[in-house]
Structures are given as C-alpha cells and as structure tokens.
Amino acid sequence: MKLPSLNTQILIGVVLGFSLGGVLASIGKQSPVTQNSLYVAGLVGTLFVDLLKMVLIPLVFASIAVGVANLRAHQQIHRVWVLTLGFFVLSMGVAIVLGLSASNFFKPGAGMHLSMFADATANFQAKQMPLGDFFAQMLHGIFRNPLSALAQGDVLAVVVCALVLGIALVIGGDRYKNMLFLLRELLEITLMIVGWIMRLAPLGIMALLVNLTATQDAALISTLAYFVAVVIGTTLVHGVIALPLILFVVTGVTPWHFWRGAREALITAFATSSSSATLPVTLRCVEQHLHVRRDIAGFVVPLGATCNMDGTALYEASAALFVANLAGIDLSFGHQLIVFFTAMLGAIGAPGIPSAGMVTMIVVLQSVGLPVEAIAILLPIDRLLDTVRTAVNVEDDMIASMVVQKLAMRESA
C-alpha cells in the first residue's frame, strides 16, 4: 500500500492529536486511560524532540560555517550580512509596532480583577535582572570555548564559533579547502539523518499535540481569554498578512506557494514550540521546497532561529502593556518606546526553546518598572501562546532567506 505524502501524514497527525487530546481532556485527568495515554504520548513526543535535538548542534555548526565560507565564492558576504541583519531588525520592528498598536487599541487586562493578580503573584519569586546585567550576561555567554559550547549544546555560542570559523575559512581561502570539504560532508550527512527523523514527524507531532490539548487548564485560560485572543490575533495578522505581503512585494512569491513549501516547518514549530528543534525541518523546507540556495539558507536560517523572532518580539511588547493594564499603570509614549527596544533585545536574546521568551521578558518588564512577578500570571497560558509565536518565528526565518536571496541576486546582477 502506498502511504500518503509526508505533508498529508503530518496534517493527519495534527487532526488526530487535537482530537485525541480533546477526548482525553473530557475523560478527565484522573482516569487511568488518560494517565496511561499521556504517559505514552509524553514518551513519543519527547523522543521526537530528542531526535531533532540530536542533530541540532552539528547542523547549526556545519551550516553556518559552510554558509559563511560559501559566500566567499559569490563575493557577497558583505551584502548578505547587511541584508540579513537589516531584514531581521525591520521585521521585528514591524511585529512590535503591531503588538503595541493592538494592545493600545484593545486594552487587554484593563478591566481585570486585580485581586487575582495579587494572589497569583504573591508566591512567585522572579530573578531580578537589571538591563545592564542582562547585556553583560549575554556578552559573556556568547564567546565560549567552542568544545564546551558544542558539548553543552549552547546554541548562541555555537552560532558565534561557527561564524568566526566561517570568516577564517573565507580569509584563509584555498589553504583550508580540506576543512571546508569536511564541514560540507558533515552538513550533508546531517541533512540525510534529518530526512530519516522526519519520517517520524507525523507520530511525534501527534503525540505532542495530544499532551498539549489534554493538559491545558481550561479555567485559567478562560480568565485570560481576551489577552490570548488579542495576542494570537495580532500574531496571525503579522504571520498571515504582513510577512507574506513583504515576501510577495520583494520576491513575487505568492502566499499560497510559500505555505505549501513551508508547511512541514510551520507545523513542527507549532507542535514543538522551539525554533531550534525545528531548524532541521526549516532548512529542509527552504532548500528543497522553496529553492533557496544552500549558501544563503545555511547562513540566514540558523542565525534567524536564534536571533530573529518576530512572534516573540510581538508577544513581549503586548505582554508588557497587558501587565501595565493589570497593575493600573498607564505607559507613556516614552515608556512604550523603551518597551519597543527591550522587546527587540529580548527576542534577539531568547534562545529558540519553549518559553524562552518568558525569561527574557523580565528585562522588558523591568525596563519600565513593571512588576516582574506578573510573569506568574502569564506562565499558565504561555505554552498555548508559544505555539503560534514559534510558528511565526520560524516563518519569518524562511521568508528572510527568500528575501535576502532575491535582493542579493538583484544587487549582484
């Protein structure tokens, strides 16, 4: 019997995951059926994410080093750098402006019961981290011994090591062609293994969604439903209208064509809530389905997975305004400008793992004197919001690679 395509299998996995999760939630958390099913779903889901993580570090290292080294052949290094960073900052800026505008317009949290706010935050001990310390910690964290960074799976430090190695390979030229050859083979082998892992994706994604749907606390979500709706709605406006529009204007690629090629990565991002875990799939999609050249994709996408997070930036800005509303604080234009910059910083600094944006959001809240303890309120809904924002984070990385490819080729023509 011929199996349906991987895309179709993944879609079936999504539908089954949500349905089974819903059934388990209605049976109740205490029932042995639910507990056993969640145990199995937990095992399968974790295994899938573990497999993706297994290939993550070699993939990031090899693809960035090779990506930078390959740019030499096209004499485009400078242009691609500038275009990539320019696009990252611009698209995150658009996302934050959208988030701030929607929050100012819909004012989520404005009429909410403050006693609940006080109760929920009473027991929460947040780590205080002033802006300066945050910068210092980030700087210390990114320059590390490459071996320890690789061994400990520190993605940001690995990105920096690979960038430096790639630059050295460019400057060294033919003298180090063996090293480049080795790295290219490592990259190809890793991508082959990714293909094997993807065959398990329908099952893994189904298991993750069963767990997500069955374990959400319905009461808490309904209390925060308005905020959730505003954030998800705005994130979707950015992901479904703003980003595809930018893509269409710059490259002429239609949204329909893009989504068909990007589907695997978007669904994996949604189910794993991790840009980093999704990276192998993202690279596969842009190279194989969306026809981005390997040298551009290998540079833009891994860098974007750690530094370019539109969904996270939008969320951090919206959440800051939500907390201000809860606390009855009116944020001035100047305050909102600070939120703009710190939300971008928080998004750049957040690693591509589940709920990372919650951690860096402390910086945003502190920068305008909002109660950091409010994070306790946001934690229960974070898993839900993280799905959509991670999908948009990953979408943006794919669009960035397509836009950069188009502009770099146009300028060099």
Q: Cβ contacts of residue 89 below 8 Å, gap of 6+? A: 344
CB of 379 to ligand ASP, least distance (A): 12
Q: Burial code of 250-265, b = ≥16 C-beta within 10 A, e = fewer?
A: bbebeeeebeebbbbb
The answer to whether 304 contacts ligand ASP (rule: CB under 6 A) is no
Q: Indicate the residue whose CB is closest to ligand ASP.
A: 357
Residue 320 engages ligand ASP in binding (rule: CB under 6 A): no
Is the CB of 248 or the CB of 341 nearer to ligand ASP? 341
Member of 350, 362, 407, 408 binding ligand ASP (CB under 6 A): 350
With CB under 6 A, what is the number of residues at the site for ligand ASP? 16
Those residues with Cβ within 8 angstroms of residue 154's Cβ, 6 or more apart along the chain or in another chain: 141, 144, 148
Regarding 309 and contact with ligand ASP (CB under 6 A), the answer is: yes
Is residue 312 near ligand ASP by the rule CB under 6 A? yes
Figure out which of the listed residues 353, 363, 370, 402 binds ligand ASP, where binding follows CB under 6 A: 353
Nearer to ligand ASP, 243 or 356 (CB): 356
* CA distances to 70, 133, 361 from 129, in Å: 40, 6, 11
Does 389 engage in binding with ligand ASP (CB under 6 A)? Answer: yes
Q: Per-residue contact track with ligand ASP, 250 to 289, x per CB under 6 A?
A: -----------------------xxx--------------
Least distance between ligand ASP and beta carbon 183 (Å):
25
CA distance 141 to 127: 18
Quote the least distance from Cβ 3 to ligand ASP, whole Å: 30
Q: Give Cα 331 to chain centroid, integer Å.
A: 28
Angle between helix 375-412 and helix 275-284 axes, rounded to 10 deg: 30
Site for ligand ASP in 356-385 (CB under 6 A): 356-357
Helix H or strand E encompassing 249: helix 243-251
The Cα 34–Cα 46 span in angstroms is 18
Per-residue exposure over 28-64, b if at least 16 CB sit within 10 Å of its own CB, e if not: eeeeeebeebbeebeebbeebbebbbebbbbbbbbbb
Q: What are phi and psi of 171, to 5 degrees?
A: -70, -40
Residue 355 makes contact with ligand ASP by CB under 6 A = yes
Rounded to a whole number of angstroms, the minimum distance from the CB of residue 335 to ligand ASP is: 22
In this complex, which beta carbon is closest to ligand ASP, that of residue 41 or of residue 343? 343
Q: Which is nearer to ligand ASP, 275 or 367 (CB)?
A: 275
Distance of CA 268 to the CA centre of its chain: 11
Q: Which of 154, 264, 386, 396 contacts ligand ASP by CB under 6 A?
A: 386
Q: Which is nearer to ligand ASP, 155 or 203 (CB)?
A: 155
By beta-carbon proximity to ligand ASP, the closer residue of 70 and 272 is: 272
Centre a 10 Å sphere on the Cβ of residue 215 and count the other Cβ atoms it contains. 16
**Non-local CB neighbours of 111 within 8 Å, separated by 6+ positions:** none
The site for ligand ASP (CB under 6 A) is made up of 273-275, 309, 312, 350, 352-357, 386, 389-390, 393
